[in-house]
Amino acid sequence: NNTLRKTITRMKQRFLSIIILLLPVLHSAAQNMKTFDIFSYTAPSGFVLKDSADKLFFQKTEGKHYCQLFLYPASAGQNDAEKDFTKNWDFFARNPDQKVNDPETKEADSLNGWQSIFGAAKGVFGRQAFAITVSTFTKNDITYCIAAVFTDKKFIPVAQEFIAAVVPDENKFVRTE
């Protein structure tokens, strides 16, 4: 599906730009921010919070299409963004039964000392095609993951905004030995 591949490529190209553009907006919207684990975040408009115990899981359904957004708690990483990404991809995305193996597209970046790796792939659940993205952020020994699953490209801006609206505070991270 070339349309989905082009859409995923555009999404990764816009990823960092949106983060940079949204930083001033996030500051002014701080009163609307919520907290989870070490993060401040803005809940995506129109989404239902399905889980907040061991992860944040938001979902929105429109007709036959859906978007799911996940934020996992920060954890002790491997001081290596690539290794952290591989662990997250294997945990969240890799599923041969849904035809998801390695990421079809992958891009690394960095901002404010955080290394990020974004990966995306297509999959199939039942007879419905979907796109899955995993964004891993690593700074020294801290890592976290944000994932999105969606069936329509109209959800890409919402996923990008959610990712950009998650602000970690590494000073809140509790290291366990």
- Sort residue 158 into left (φ over 0), alpha (ψ -120 to 50) or beta: alpha
Predicted TM-score (pTM) of the model is 0.81
Non-local CB neighbours of 128 within 8 Å, separated by 6+ positions:
64, 151
Q: Is 108's pLDDT higher than 60?
A: yes
Higher pLDDT, 33 or 154: 154
36, 44, 52, 65, 68 from 48: Cα distances, Å: 16, 9, 11, 15, 10
**Average pLDDT for the chain:** 85
The encoded tokens of residue 156 equal 């890409």
| Lowest pLDDT segment from 48-52, 125-129, 130-134 | 125-129
Q: What confidence tens digit (pLDDT) does each residue in 35-76 have?
A: 999 999 999 999 999 999 999 999 999 999 999 999 999 999
Q: Is 9's pLDDT higher than 80?
A: no
